[in-house]
Amino acid sequence: MSQELLEKMAQSIIDGDADLAAELARQAIAEGLDPLFVITNGYVPGINKVGEAFGAGEAFLPELVMAGEAMKAAVVVLEPELLRKGSERKTLGKVVMATVEGDIHEIGKSLVSTMLSAAGFTVYDMGVDNPSDKIIEKALEVDADIIGLSALLTTTMIRQKEVIDKLDARGLRKKIKVMVGGAPVTREWVQKIEADGYSEDAIGAVAVAKKLMGIEA
Ligand code: B12
């Protein structure tokens, strides 16, 4: 594994260069590199840097947007490879994945969806900015085993609690498990809202989903 390639990947995100990010992803596939490894060790450190700079007031919204677009461009190229790796397995369970209402961060949620699909789950990815009732309706429509809720803002995390409370009120809390995630989500928060599972990354999300289905991880 070339450290240089990983650094170039991180830099392509920092520079918001979607073409280069996608090109480097294609190069990684051609070299037979593990797609999740390059996402985790190449692109994610880049987007984290932009996030930190934004948080510190050293980068601004356009940079954040461009970094997000570059990250998406790389993941789009790597996604088929991620899926191919798990394509021969049977369905382990049905998961409705959604970013909560008021939140348009999609990259982490999509990565979790992709990894769950690759692991053999049937995933219904609802995209971003989903009202709690809509998420519950979808879960009922597809007879989901698990709802996965992503929230990237401290102001939208409360929607994770809202979904759980609404499931509770409708007597669905035992039938449908809820797992949560997103950068601001902490173990304390998970305990407080009594979610069934939490992971800080996409690999962990697969292990959590398996555990919720009673499957040995
Ligand atoms: C890219 C980005 C954006 C892009 C999103 C593009 C897109 N299409 O998704 C854009 C430019 C749109 C954006 C907008 C905003 N953003 Co923004 N953004 C980010 C940034 C830099 C990276 C997020 C990301 O994609 N990370 C990479 C992925 C792979 O990681 P992830 O999302 O954390 O997901 C992983 C885990 O959390 C976990 N996971 C995620 N979801 C789930 C779900 C389940 C069920 C499980 C088990 C696990 C799990 O697994 C994932 C894979 O490993 C973060 C900073 C950061 N480092 O988090 C800020 C950040 C989240 N944004 C922030 C802010 C403030 C905003 C804006 C309000 C800015 C503004 N003033 O307009 C808006 C909000 C818009 C809205 N209503 O949602 C703040 C939030 C602060 C806070 N604590 O609330 C952050 C932390 C930046 C900062 N340091 O200030 N943003």
Per-residue pLDDT tens digits for 32-53: 999 989 998 999 899 889 988 9
Q: Is the CB of 50 under 6 A from ligand 1?
A: yes
If asked whether residues 106 and 49 sit together in one domain, one would say no
Final residue belonging to a domain, choices 66, 86, 106: 86
Domain that holds residue 71: 3-86
Least confident stretch, 85-89, 105-109, 116-120, 159-163: 85-89
- 109, 172 contact by CB (below 8 A): no
Mean pLDDT over 69-77 rounds to 92
If asked whether residues 174 and 194 sit together in one domain, one would say yes
**Total structural domains within the chain:** 2
- 196, 212 contact by CB (below 8 A): yes
If asked whether residues 113 and 10 sit together in one domain, one would say no
Any domain includes 217? no
pLDDT tens figures, 101-125: 999 999 999 989 988 887 778 899 9
Any domain includes 125? yes
Residue 117: predicted pLDDT: 82
Residue 207: predicted pLDDT: 92
pLDDT at 182 over 60: yes
pLDDT tens figures, 117-147: 877 788 999 999 999 999 999 999 999 999 9
**% of the chain surpassing 90 pLDDT:** 74
Which residue matches tokens 């590199």? 33
Q: Is the CB of 107 under 6 A from ligand 1?
A: yes
Q: Ligand 1 atom closest to Cα of 151?
A: 41
Q: Ligand 1 atom closest to Cα of 48?
A: 57
Mean pLDDT over 165-175 rounds to 96
Residue 217: predicted pLDDT: 57
Q: Which residue has the higher pLDDT, 89 or 16?
A: 16
Which residue matches tokens 């997000």? 68
- 75, 107 contact by CB (below 8 A): yes
Q: Is the CB of 44 under 6 A from ligand 1?
A: yes
Task: Write out the E strands in the chain.
Answer: 94-99, 122-125, 146-150, 177-181, 197-198
Q: Ligand 1 atom closest to Cα of 184?
A: 83
160-166, Cβ contacts within 8 angstroms, sequence gap of 24 or more: 160/100, 160/185, 160/189, 160/193, 160/195, 161/192, 161/193, 162/132, 163/100, 163/132, 163/135, 163/136, 164/193, 164/194, 164/195, 166/132, 166/133, 166/136
Q: Is the CB of 56 under 6 A from ligand 1?
A: no
* Confidence tier at 90 by pLDDT (50, 70, 90): low
